[in-house]
Structures are given as structure tokens and as C-alpha cells.
Amino acid sequence: MKHIVKILSILVAVAAFWIGLLHTSIVPRTQAWLLPLYLIISLACYGLLMVGIGLMRFPTCPEEAVLLQQDIAEAKGFLSQKGVDIGSE
């Protein structure tokens, strides 16, 4: 519930700022109408940047890889006992 209130308060603040810019002559009216679009595009670029950085820093877990290989070998053994052809190794 706290996150919803936080997000809604940020949206209200941005909307109030945008309406304020529309009523003043600081930013030309033709450009002020495009500010929400610019905000959405910049947030999308920021999100893509964060995903890219997260993928570049993706941690490797050698312990988990060993456990996964053990699980795979155990599953192959179980399926072989049941008569399922699992292919060549």
C-alpha cells in the first residue's frame, strides 16, 4: 500500500508541475504538451539502460551450476530406470 501512495504522489506532483508549465510562459505551449511523452520516453530509456547494466553484471554461480548438473544426472538416472530413452550423452 505504501508503494501505491508513493507512486500516486509522484504522479500528482508531475501532473501539477506539467499543468503549471502549461499555464505559465516559461516553456512554449507547443512544447509543453509534449512533456509527458518526453517523460515516458526517458523512463523507457532509463529502464532499458538498467536492464542492460543488470545483464552485463549478471553474477555467475558455480555452486548452483554444480547442483544443477547433479539434478540433471539424477533425473536422467531416474528416467533411465523407468525405461525412457533420454538420448545420447
Per-residue pLDDT of the chain (89 residues; tens, 9 = 90+): 678 888 889 889 988 888 887 788 777 777 777 878 888 898 899 999 999 988 888 777 888 889 999 999 999 999 988 888 887 65
Considering the domain architecture, whether residues 28 and 49 belong to the same structural domain is answered as: no
Q: Which domain does 53 fall in, by range?
A: 34-82
Considering the domain architecture, whether residues 68 and 28 belong to the same structural domain is answered as: no
Considering the domain architecture, whether residues 72 and 46 belong to the same structural domain is answered as: yes
Q: What pTM was estimated for this model as a whole?
A: 0.48
Q: Is residue 89 part of a domain?
A: no
- Structural domains of the chain, count: 2
| Cβ partners under 8 Å of residue 86, min gap 6 | 76, 79, 80
- Cell digits for 89? 550423452
Considering the domain architecture, whether residues 39 and 52 belong to the same structural domain is answered as: yes
Considering the domain architecture, whether residues 22 and 42 belong to the same structural domain is answered as: no
pLDDT in tens, 37-46: 888 898 899 9
